[in-house]
Structure 1
Amino acid sequence: MQFTNALVAATLASAVSGASIPSQVYARQNGTANSTLPAYFKLQVVAIDTPLHLQHFQAAQSSIFVGLPKQNATCDITPDQPTEQEATFTLDSEDNGLYLYAASTTPQQLFADLSGMGQGKLGYTTGAQPAPRNAQRTGWELDEAGHLMFDNAGFTACPNSIEGSWSVWVYNSIDNPGGNKDCVRIAARPVAIPKPNGCSYTS
């Protein structure tokens, strides 16, 4: 009887452990295991049944987009990365700020304005430029699915932005922020970049 109970307990423990393996393997494959962001990463859109699915966040004109034909960023071109049309991010472990990766000393840091005026505006500042009033710079974390969140909120993308792209906002209980229409909820999955290409993005 004791042997039977021990066997059942071991079987149940194995089943529970096995059930958790796929999500952990999935997270490790994307560099997001155990709620830890990779050192350098791109943000891939998860929005099934939308044209944005599996596209990546881009940075231009102090804002974040998806589907922009060109970022027009100034990048450190390397032989294995002749072009750079997706933004690369890094999280500073000291101030918990999210930055656009660059080899230069001029930082470009992301912010989000979740106030009633900002409605979830997502953008970035360059150098010593201050963040807009009511904007926040910290609050970045991963949820249980390995998606990037800001202050426990996901993202929204709105069509008909510059050059036919979609503007990206932090979701703030407003379905169509900034007077936009037909916005869609999206998730942002960090994808590790072992050899990042430093860029200075337009402001």
Structure 2
Amino acid sequence: MMLLQTISTLSLLVASAIAAPQKAPATFDVMALRSASPIHFAQVSAAKGGLFLNLPHSNATCEGKSSGHATLYIEGEELVLYSCKGEKQKVFVDRSGMGQGVVRYVTGEQALPRYAELKGWATDKNKNLNFKGTGFVACPHSIDDSWSLWLDVGLGQPGGNKGCLGFTARELENKKPVGCRYTQ
């Protein structure tokens, strides 16, 4: 009898856990902090498989009126773009000698580059985004005169860029995210 009650209780717990609504992820936008620079207070945008500051148009397809900035969330140490229903768009870094800290994203089951890393994203106690404790640099003269984002792997001027600046990537809570599918 006791075994039957235990099994019954466990069944109810499992059923309620399965039926419980999924908690929405904590979504946020990201703003660059670098005093006295052209990127200070610039927000991160996503387009053409990369992340940028001061990008005038992302050309994303959105489910409503978008701010033009990328909205993100962290799921199990992976950084995910808040996308339209369907395929996820996940952000990766390549810290290898070839990647030099490039920050990009893939859609769905798209193949990752050889040394791409998806897991390691976090925000610290001050709400600063990082990858395995490492911050970022932004490099000018990218698409539409924007600044491309790179992980700071100690190169200062990754990818042959000139004029790159280190910055703090501050998380800005976004309680009303708009799902978008960002261009590849």
Q: Does the CA-based 8 Å contact 2:66-2:178 persist in structure 1?
A: no
- Code of the residue aligned with 2:73 in structure 1: it is T
Alignment pair present for 1:57 and 2:38: no
Q: In the alignment, what sits opposite 2:85?
A: 104
> Does residue 148 in structure 1 map to residue 133 in structure 2?
no
Structure 1 stretches lacking a partner, 5+ long: 1-37
Whole-Å separation in 2 of the counterparts to 1:144 and 1:196:
22
Answer 1 or 2: which has greater strand percent: 2
Identical counterparts, % of pairs: 41
The CA deviation string for residues 134-178 of structure 1, in whole angstroms up to 9 with x for no partner, is: 110011122343211101110000000111000010100010000
Q: Secondary structure at the match of 1:87?
A: coil
- Using structure 2 for the length normalisation, give the TM-score: 0.84
Q: CA offsets per residue over residues 6-62 of structure 1, 9 Å max, x none?
A: xxxxxxxxxxxxxxxxxxxxxxxxxxxxxxxx7000001111111111110110000
Q: CA contact under 8 A between 1:157 and 1:168: conserved in structure 2?
A: yes
Separation in 2 of the partners of 1:146 and 1:41?
10
Structure 1's consecutive aligned runs of 4 or more residues displaced over 2 angstroms after TM superposition are: 142-146
Counterpart amino acid of 2:108? G
3-state SS of 2:150 partner: strand
Contact 1:75–1:84 under 8 Å retained in 2? no
**Count of aligned pairs:** 160
**Partner of residue 158, structure 1:** 139
Partner of 1:178, secondary structure, is helix
Report SS of the residue matched to 1:163.
helix
**Alpha-carbon separation, structure 1, partners of 2:85 and 2:125:** 33
Alignment correspondent of 1:42: 29
Is 1:177 the counterpart of 2:164? The answer is no
Quick check: which one's helix share is greater?
1
How do 1:1-203 and structure 2 match up within 5 A? 39-77=26-64, 82-92=65-75, 95-203=76-184
Q: Does 139-148 or 108-117 show the bigger shift? A: 139-148
Tell me if the contact between 2:52 and 2:149 (Cα under 8 Å) persists in the aligned partners. yes
Aligned to 1:20: none
Q: Render the CA deviation track for 1:92-133: whole Å, top value 9, x for unaligned.
A: 1xx321100023111100000011111000000011002111
